[in-house]
Amino acid sequence: MTLFILLILYRIKIVLLSESKLLRHLWDKGWTPINILELNTYLGDYANRVDAQLLLEGFTFGFRIQYEGPRISTTAKKLVSAEIHKFETLAKLHDEVKLGRILGPFSKKPISTLRISPIGLVQKPDKGWRLISHLSYPSGGSINDFIPEDYCSVKYSTFDNVLNMIAASQLSEDAFSFEIDTLLMFGVRIPENKVIKLRSGILYMVGRKKIKLKELESIIGLMAFCSRAIPSSRAFTRRFYDVISNLQHGKSYYYVKINQELRSDALVWLEFLENFNGECFHFGKSLVIK
The confidence score (pLDDT) of residue 285 equals 45
The confidence score (pLDDT) of residue 166 equals 64
Quick one: which of 209, 219, 218, 224 has its CA closest to 256?
209
CB proximity list for 221: less than 8 A, separation 6 or greater: none
Mean pLDDT within 235-262: 81
3-state secondary structure 130-151: EEEECCCCCCCCCCHHHCCHHH
The confidence score (pLDDT) of residue 182 equals 42
CA atoms within 13 A on the CB side of 248: 2
Burial of 157-178, coded b for 16+ CB within 10 Å and e otherwise, reads eebbebbeebeeeeeeeeeeeb
pLDDT band at 133 (very low <50, low <70, confident <90, very high): very high
84 neighbors 124 (Cβ within 8 angstroms):
no
The confidence score (pLDDT) of residue 126 equals 78
* φ, ψ dihedrals at 210, nearest 5°: -140, 150
Q: Structure pTM?
A: 0.59
Q: What angle do CA 8, 14, 15 make, to 5 degrees?
A: 90
The confidence score (pLDDT) of residue 203 equals 93
pLDDT, tens digit, for every residue of 65-118? 999 999 999 999 999 999 999 999 999 999 988 888 888 888 888 999 999 999
CA atoms within 13 A on the CB side of 87: 0
Q: Answer whether residue 15 shows pLDDT above 60.
A: no
